[in-house]
């Protein structure tokens, strides 16, 4: 890898910079880890991200259901990195990566910025996939961002509020039917928490409706909940959800959706409609479109989800200076989880450090992933965990209270910032030992902003085309 600044660089504010420039796209687990790992390296690091925060996605569902606040899981990136002198943070949406000229073009509102790099780490993650039915997004938001979580919180609590005012029994039933599509970890966690909200937090808080009568449906086209866990753990999770009143419908594929409900196709091919105002989508993942740009320019293959099939050193063909890590990379045996992003980012950062010492790309050892296992919460005091035993094909499987304690400790350890850990622990103590949740505020903007922004974008498109 060439550690000198290429002459083609066009990042004007850095012309003349002597140090090797590393650009990192994304401020998630991959981006933040890579930046931190380069703290002591003789490089200038620029992190370009479309949000000002580092988001701890595993706890988004708790923001959506009022257990914790968004600030606790989304500290500002530039504050986290303020003591790391060799890093600067640039807010912007990366629109173009130019592999030939070693530049990244990002945009913040009307400002366009072109940043040159010597090494690039692309950690742009993934978005929700609606499997070609993008119009479903309006009716069933996914859970990927703070905006999503707050919108869902508004929709969930807003449905109870509307039901309280309704005098029509059919309408009331529709408002009190919540459907979560996708029975992976996020779907299970959301369904469990909505059920718990209805039966504990909101119990007795309304005068015309009984929130405990709310129906929570968890549906999936797959035949089991939590498919990656399988066997006993999937069965335990399903049993616990059912005990908490969640209606699990498996083998059910969503084929249509509108404001008032959805149509599902059952395994026998019949179609049926479920009336439900509040729907949550947690069914699919589509890699960042930046992957396609890398594919077009380097010839690297993409998998079905648009993830980049990187080489053994996490780079793309003929570009040993361009690393792809995290949810955007496709490496056999590496799941789209935090550990995949963290370990990939550490690998990329050390490959860059080695190259500064003169190590050629051919000398890099292939990336190897250490599977530390996975866990998911089902309800208060109940979780499942699967931890592989190193060097064997066996796994330790835990379900219930022990797994739940493990889940709590692990998530606290990985949250960024002492204060966030402390306040989250306090909120958990209240939420799990009493009926109270501290974050039940909702605003009109949270619920309606998506449509308003959509309309605005549509109007801009029409204006530009005219």
Ligand X SMILES: Cc1cc2nc3c(=O)[nH]c(=O)nc-3n(C[C@H](O)[C@H](O)[C@H](O)COP(=O)(O)OP(=O)(O)OC[C@H]3O[C@@H](n4cnc5c(N)ncnc54)[C@H](O)[C@@H]3O)c2cc1C
Contact yes or no for 252/294 (Cβ under 8 A): no
Own/partner pairs, 337-343, CB within 8 angstroms, 24+ separation: 337/374, 338/29, 338/57, 338/58, 338/414, 339/369, 339/370, 339/371, 339/372, 340/369, 341/28, 341/29, 341/30, 341/33, 341/123, 341/125, 342/29, 342/30, 342/33, 343/367, 343/369, 343/370
Shortest Cβ 46–ligand X spacing (Å): 12
Among 23, 35, 47, 60, binds ligand X (CB under 6 A): 60
Among 22, 35, 43, 48, binds ligand X (CB under 6 A): 48
Q: Which is nearer to ligand X, 24 or 216 (CB)?
A: 24
119 binds ligand X (CB under 6 A): no
182 binds ligand X (CB under 6 A): no
Among 12, 42, 85, 93, binds ligand X (CB under 6 A): 93
Among 20, 22, 45, 58, binds ligand X (CB under 6 A): 58
Q: How many residues bind ligand X (CB under 6 A)?
A: 34
Q: What is 55-106 written as a DSSP string?
A: --GGGHHHHHTTSS-HHHH--BHHHHTTT-TTEEEEE-EEEEEETTTTEEEE
**CB neighbourhood size of 414 (10 A):** 15
37 binds ligand X (CB under 6 A): no
- Footprint (CB under 6 A) of ligand X, residues 7-26: 25-26
Write the binding mask 141 to 160 for ligand X: x where contact by CB under 6 A, - elsewhere.
--xx----------------
Q: Please say whether the dihedral angle defined by the alpha carbons of residues 276, 277, 280 and 286, taken in this order, is positive or negative.
A: positive
290 binds ligand X (CB under 6 A): yes
Write the binding mask 334 to 353 for ligand X: x where contact by CB under 6 A, - elsewhere.
--xxxx-x------------
Write the binding mask 296 to 335 for ligand X: x where contact by CB under 6 A, - elsewhere.
------------------------------xxx-------
Shortest Cβ 51–ligand X spacing (Å): 5
Place of tokens 């009568």: 213
Both tokens of residue 311? 């080489």
Among 1, 5, 9, 28, binds ligand X (CB under 6 A): 28
Contact yes or no for 143/151 (Cβ under 8 A): no
Q: Which is nearer to ligand X, 147 or 247 (CB)?
A: 147
Q: Say how far apart CA 121 and CA 41 lie, in whole Å.
A: 15
Among 22, 29, 146, 202, binds ligand X (CB under 6 A): 29
Query: What would you measure as the largest C-alpha separation in the chain, in angstroms?
Result: 74
- Residues serving a catalytic function are 189
Which residues bind to ligand X, rule: CB under 6 A?
25-31, 48-51, 57-58, 60-61, 93-94, 123-125, 143-144, 185-186, 288, 290, 326-328, 336-339, 341
């Amino acid at each position: 890898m060439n550690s000198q600044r290429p002459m083609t660089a066009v990042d004007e504010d850095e012309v003349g910079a002597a140090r090797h420039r590393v650009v990192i796209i994304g401020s998630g687990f991959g981006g933040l880890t890579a930046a931190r790992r380069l703290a002591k390296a003789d490089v200038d690091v620029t992190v370009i991200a479309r949000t000002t925060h580092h988001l701890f996605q595993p706890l988004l569902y708790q923001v959506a259901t009022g257990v914790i606040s968004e600030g606790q899981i989304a500290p500002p990136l530039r504050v986290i990195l303020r003591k790391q002198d060799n890093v600067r943070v640039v807010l912007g949406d990366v629109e173009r990566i130019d592999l030939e000229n070693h530049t990244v073009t990002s945009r913040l509102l009307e400002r366009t910025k072109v940043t040159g790099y010597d090494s690039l780490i692309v950690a742009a993650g993934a978005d929700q996939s609606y499997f070609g039915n993008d119009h479903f997004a309006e009716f069933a938001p996914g859970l990927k961002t703070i905006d999503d979580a707050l919108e869902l919180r508004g929709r969930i609590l807003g449905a109870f509020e509307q039901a309280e005012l309704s005098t029509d029994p059919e309408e009331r039933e529709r408002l009190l039917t919540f459907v979560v599509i996708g029975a992976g970890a996020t779907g299970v966690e959301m369904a469990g928490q909505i059920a718990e909200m209805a039966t504990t937090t909101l119990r007795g808080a309304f005068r015309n409706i009984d929130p405990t009568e709310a129906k929570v449906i968890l549906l999936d086209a797959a035949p089991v909940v939590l498919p990656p866990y399988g066997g006993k753990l999937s069965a335990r999770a399903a049993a616990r959800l059912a005990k908490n009143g969640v209606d699990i419908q498996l083998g059910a594929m969503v084929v249509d959706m509108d404001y008032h409900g959805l149509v599902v196709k059952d395994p026998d091919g019949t179609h049926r409609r479920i009336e439900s105002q509040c729907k949550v989508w947690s069914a699919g993942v589509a890699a960042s479109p930046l992957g396609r740009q890398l594919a077009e320019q380097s010839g690297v293959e993409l998998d079905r989800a648009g993830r980049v099939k990187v080489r053994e050193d996490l780079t793309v063909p003929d570009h040993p200076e361009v690393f792809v890590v995290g949810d955007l990379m496709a490496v056999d045996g590496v799941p789209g989880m935090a550990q995949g992003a963290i370990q990939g980012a550490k690998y990329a950062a050390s490959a860059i450090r080695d190259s500064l010492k003169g190590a050629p790309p051919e000398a890099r050892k292939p990336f190897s992933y250490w599977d530390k296992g996975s866990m998911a919460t089902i309800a208060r005091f109940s979780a499942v965990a699967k931890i592989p035993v190193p060097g064997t094909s066996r796994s330790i499987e835990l379900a219930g209270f022990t797994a739940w304690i493990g889940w709590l400790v692990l998530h606290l350890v990985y949250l960024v910032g002492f204060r966030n850990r402390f306040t989250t622990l306090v909120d958990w103590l209240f939420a799990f030992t009493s009926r109270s949740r501290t974050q039940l505020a909702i605003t009109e903007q949270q619920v309606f902003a998506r449509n308003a922004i959509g309309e605005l974008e549509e109007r801009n498109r029409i204006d530009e085309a005219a």
